[in-house]
Structures are given as C-alpha cells and as structure tokens.
Structure 1
Amino acid sequence: MLQTEFEFTLPKGYVDQHGNLHRDGVMRLASAADEIAPLQDPRVQRNEAYLSIILLSRVIQKLGDLPDVNPSIVEKMFAADVSYLQELYEIINGNGHTQIGVTCPHCNASIVLDGASLFRESALGE
C-alpha cells in the first residue's frame, strides 16, 4: 500500500501567539496542483523564494494542536524547521524513491536507508 502521509517532529517547533509549542505534524504527498497553483500566487511572482512557503502550507496536514497550517504560520517558523520540512518534502516527493545510500563512518560499510522512515521515527532533527 502506498504511504501518502508522513509524521514528523520539528527540530525547534512553531511557537504560536499564545506561547504554545507545536512540534509534531503530518505531511502528505504533494499533488501536481500543489506544485502548479502556487506559481499563480502574486507573492511567488514577486519573490520566487515564497514558493516553498506556500507549497509547505499546502502539504502540511497537521502541526500540533493548530486547526490548520497556512502560509502565515510557515513564515513564522524558525529557519531550521523550514529547512527540515523542505528536506522532508524532497525525500517523500523528489523522485518517488525514499531510499538514501550512506556510508558508515566507523566501518565504511555502504548502507541503504529508507529516508521516510528516518523522518517517521524522528531520527533527523533531534
């Protein structure tokens, strides 16, 4: 069965206007519309860097107790968290494969890891 949603834990976490910390969330696979629609947004047309803000707000399904995740919330996230989410997005949507080849620094053995599992288990960013 194809996995379409991926749990994550932000390295820092989003702090809302009440001071509540939100770290755990869910990101879904992106659709073609998720990648095309933001290109029509005037904010993206003025500043291409804004594309990732809108794109992330479309695919993040849950973040802590927040009722929804919109571009304003992503704008206020710490840079480390946005970078983490961009990496997760690339891993789960990049080329359809979530496997990552790595070399053990201790024994130099080549290992293939499932990148999506690393995020699910919160092995990255903690």
Structure 2
Amino acid sequence: MDSHEITDTEFEFILPRGLVETEGMVHRLGVMRLATAKDEIYVQKHRRTKESSAYGVLVMLSQVITRLGNLSLVTPELLEGLFTRDLAYLREFYNRINQDGDVYIPVECPHCNSNFQVEFSLSGES
C-alpha cells in the first residue's frame, strides 16, 4: 500500500470484487483496524442501526475500515454499494482479526497430515 504505515492493530485486505464508484473506479485494497468499545457504542446509538439492526454491520465496518482504495472516508452509505461477496469477505475478515487476533487459519495437509497456517483469503488471491 502507499505511504500509510500499517500498525500492529491494522490489517490490509483485498476485496474479491471491489467497491465500484459511480464513475467506474474500483477500490479493492483496504486497511481495517481492530474494533474498540467506542465503536460498539457508536453502532448501537446510530440512527440507522436503531431502524434496522442489520444495518449495524455497515456502520461498524465504516468505523473500522480506515482506507479503501484511495478513499480515506468510508461511510455506511458508501458500503451499501458493496457486492454481497465483498460484504461477506469483510464480515469474516472483521471477525477473524477481532476474535482470533490474526488473519491466519490453521490447516492440516490431507496427504501428509502436517499442520501449518495459511493467510485467510476469500478472494482467491494468494
């Protein structure tokens, strides 16, 4: 990513499809930070979340995504334009970094039964 330095509480991601702006620009590369208690409180108090609890996912993601492509301001309304595959990816990525603490999944080789870790990816990227 460009000049923004990633900290140990921030994680880079690549969306499978990307957020497409009305001008046709596609944003796939992003940075998500760990969620805080303040974020949780903000989501619960947000007007749109009170109207529909499902909207809380977009509100939370807008709080923790610090950059998406060349966008530094990510709003719930902007995230409404995500493809469902990208939304599913972001939800899983959020859960992985906030609950498990990293983006690596333990796996076992089906041939030799060796255990190792691979980086989480729904995008098909390696």
TM bucket by the smaller chain? 0.7 to 0.9
What number of residue pairs does the alignment pair up? 118
Match of 2:24 among 19, 23, 39: 19
CA distance in 2, matches of 1:33, 1:104: 41
Matched, 1:4 2:2: no
Matched, 1:32 2:32: no
Matched, 1:76 2:74: no
For the aligned residue pairs, the C-alpha RMSD in angstroms reads: 1.9
Structure 2 partner of 1:125: 123
CA distance in 1, matches of 2:12, 2:103: 14
The offset of 1:95, in angstroms, is 4.5
TM-score by length of 1: 0.82
Higher relative contact order (CA 8 A, sep 6+): 1
Identity of aligned residues (%): 45
Summarize deviations over 1:67-104 as a string: whole Å, max 9, x none. 41100111110011111111111111115465533222
Contact 2:66 2:72 in 1 (8 A): no
CA distance in 2, matches of 1:97, 1:20: 30
Moved over 6 A (4+): none
2:88 partner amino acid = S
Structure 1's unaligned 5+ residue stretches are: none
2:112 partner amino acid = C
TM-score by length of 2: 0.82
